[in-house]
């Protein structure tokens, strides 16, 4: 309580926190305003039949707004897609690479291009959603769109594009005038609002006798352990010692300085899981939308919880972990910058030898980072529905005999925090706490964490 009183004493920090929560409240308010000409009950009925598809994945990042067909249904995904695409293009397009190296002015130019791409992506997605909604019926036969036609399409595109731009503006305002990264906090807030629903669901199961108290306590302790596991890996880093040569200027000189180059275990963050989920869910989504029985039967072997799904999912996560890390971290550029400013790694020659040394360490860390992301992503599947190992080709019967029941059948919990959401919640919370701590420590107050500050913060 003393820490929270100290937060309230600092006028600037107090204003920033109030502004941040006010912007997040506006975001949640817009998530409950439905676009016109939609039968919401029919839409919810249809959406419940679309589990384990890309549509549910999009609903996660919109904080439930996609499922409600609200004005914020697209969420911040078009902006994230545009940002990732520009990051990929920076490696391939010399002009963008040059802009990135120009500092503040170049960053503003890239941000402007990101906004333009956001408008394009959101318009395309909005038109696709409007067309899809017109063609759908609920399982009971009710039409989701009450007044289809070009008027509905144009109104939906205009509404959803405007909603995405408003969310983008809210995120930028939080980053500039609030606490933390605005875009990350918007996603975090959209995920966190599901927590009360999860708690109520567990309590109802406990009251109705569907779950025993021992099982509920076990799952609660297990979730705490998984959260601690995520915090441990997210803050883990390899620190490469860096020494700077002694420089002499005129009659004055300075002694060499020692520092370190931190490389996180999980350099790529949550991006590999996002790519992997979209990849493995997309075929099943198409099969359900076009209602192809032959395609659905074939893809059932790759459905959620099936062994082939798990294998492809893990392989995709590890692949995208290496792929995205290679894009955002270039050992050659790092080695050149060290050489340029007189820095070197003790015992390693500057230049190519340094780049190879950093690349070797980065490869090892990336491998374990990919394994860590895979484990975190599979855990929610075990909690909910389990892994149907009996469907594994050739060795299914053997696995069915040796694998524990809770892995094969799951624990039957509606786990609202999958691998992607868990990483976002923990990562954003750690960053938010570290920024609040920075404001407190600048004014000689103790931080939120009484036994030490958050590791790995800036």
pLDDT tens sequence across 375-394: 888 887 777 777 877 777 77
In which region does residue 298 sit, left (phi positive, over 0), alpha (psi from -120 to 50) or beta (all else)? alpha
Cβ burial, residue 49 (10 Å; 0-12/13-18/19+): exposed
- Residues 30-55: tens digit of each pLDDT: 888 888 888 878 777 777 666 555 56
Both tokens of 89, joined, read 């293009």
According to the model, what pLDDT value does residue 20 have? 92
Would you place residue 366 in the very low, low, confident or very high pLDDT band (cuts 50, 70, 90)?
Answer: very high
Is the pLDDT score of 162 beyond 90?
A: yes
Residue 424 burial (C-beta neighbours within 10 Å; 0-12, 13-18, 19+): buried
pLDDT, average across residues 109-125: 90
* Band of pLDDT at residue 339, cut at 50, 70 and 90: confident
Task: Read off the pLDDT band of 91 (50, 70, 90).
Answer: confident
Most confident of the following: 127-141, 360-374, 376-390: 360-374
- Give the three-class secondary structure for 240: strand
The separation between CA 186 and the C-alpha centre of its own chain, rounded to angstroms, equals 11
Give yes or no for a contact between 55 and 65, defined as CB atoms under 8 angstroms apart.
no
Calpha distance 143→137 (Å, rounded) = 5
Please tell me the predicted confidence (pLDDT) of residue 85. 83
| Chain centre distance of CA 23 | 20
pLDDT at residue 253 tops 60: no
Q: Are 112 and 119 in contact (CB under 8 A)?
A: no
Q: Is the pLDDT of residue 402 over 80?
A: yes
**H or E element in which residue 74 lies:** none
Contact 413, 383 (CB under 8 A): yes
Radius of gyration in angstroms for the set of CA atoms belonging to the chain, rounded to a whole number: 25
Residues pairing with 243 in the sheet: 258, 344
Q: Per-residue pLDDT averaged across 105-116, rounded?
A: 88
Question: Per-residue confidence at 230, pLDDT binned at 50, 70, 90?
Answer: confident
pLDDT-derived band at 165, boundaries 50, 70, 90: very high
**Model pLDDT for residues 261-302, shown as the tens digit of each residue:** 899 988 888 888 877 877 777 666 666 556 666 666 666 667
CA trace torsion 203, 207, 210, 211 (10° rounding): 60
pLDDT on residue 458: 41
Please state the pTM of the whole predicted model.
Answer: 0.75
pLDDT exceeds cutoff 50 at 457: no
Tell me the angle at which helices 54-61 and 271-290 cross, rounded to the nearest 10 degrees: 130
Q: Residue 456: pLDDT above 50?
A: no
What percent of the chain is predicted at pLDDT more than 70?
Answer: 83
Between these two residues, 340 and 295, which has the higher pLDDT value? Answer: 340
Domains of the chain, earliest start first: 1-194 (1.10.3370.10)
Q: How many CA atoms lie within 13 A of 70 on its CB side?
A: 21
**Beta-carbon neighbour count of residue 397 at 10 Å?**
10
Average pLDDT value for residue range 131-138: 79
């Amino acid at each position: 309580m003393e820490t929270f009183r100290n937060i309230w004493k600092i006028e600037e920090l107090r204003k920033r926190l109030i502004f941040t929560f006010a912007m997040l409240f506006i975001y949640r308010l817009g998530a409950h305003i439905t676009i016109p000409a939609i039968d919401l009950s029919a839409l919810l009925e249809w959406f419940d039949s679309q589990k384990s598809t890309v549509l549910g994945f999009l609903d996660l990042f919109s904080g439930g707004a996609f499922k409600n067909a609200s004005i914020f249904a697209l969420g911040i995904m078009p902006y994230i897609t545009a940002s990732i695409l520009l990051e990929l293009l920076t490696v391939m397009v010399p002009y963008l690479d040059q802009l990135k190296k120009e500092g503040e002015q170049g960053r503003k130019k890239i941000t402007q291009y990101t906004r333009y791409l956001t408008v394009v992506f959101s318009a395309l997605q909005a038109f696709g959603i409007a067309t899809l909604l017109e063609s759908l019926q609920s399982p009971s036969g009710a039409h989701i769109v009450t007044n289809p036609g070009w008027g509905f399409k144009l109104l939906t595109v205009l509404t959803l594009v405007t909603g995405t731009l408003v969310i983008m503006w809210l995120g930028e305002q939080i980053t500039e005038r609030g606490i933390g990264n605005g875009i990350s906090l918007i996603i975090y807030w959209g995920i966190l609002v599901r927590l009360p629903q999860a708690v109520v669901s567990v309590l109802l199961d406990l009251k109705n006798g569907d779950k025993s108290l021992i099982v509920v306590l076990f799952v609660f302790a297990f979730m705490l352990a998984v959260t601690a596991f995520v915090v441990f890996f997210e803050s883990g880093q390899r620190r490469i010692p860096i020494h700077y040569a002694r420089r002499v200027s005129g009659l004055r000189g300075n002694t060499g300085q020692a520092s370190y180059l931190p490389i996180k275990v999980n350099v790529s963050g949550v991006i590999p899981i996002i790519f992997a989920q979209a990849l493995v869910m997309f075929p099943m989504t198409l099969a359900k939308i076009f209602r192809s029985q032959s395609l659905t039967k074939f893809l059932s072997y790759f459905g959620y919880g099936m062994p082939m799904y798990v294998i492809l999912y893990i392989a995709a996560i590890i692949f995208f972990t290496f792929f995205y890390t290679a894009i955002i971290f270039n050992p050659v550029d790092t080695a050149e910058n060290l050489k340029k400013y007189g820095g070197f790694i003790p015992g390693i020659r500057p230049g190519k030898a340094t780049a190879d040394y950093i690349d070797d360490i980065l490869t090892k860390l990336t491998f374990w980072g990919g394994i860590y992301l895979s484990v975190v992503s599979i855990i929610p599947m075990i909690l909910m529905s389990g892994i149907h190992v009996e469907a594994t080709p050739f060795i299914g019967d053997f696995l069915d005999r040796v694998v524990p029941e809770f892995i094969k059948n799951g624990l039957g919990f509606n786990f609202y925090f999958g691998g992607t959401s868990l990483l976002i919640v923990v990562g954003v919370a750690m960053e938010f706490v570290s920024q609040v701590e920075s404001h407190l420590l600048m004014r000689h107050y103790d931080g939120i964490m009484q036994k030490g500050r958050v590791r790995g913060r800036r």
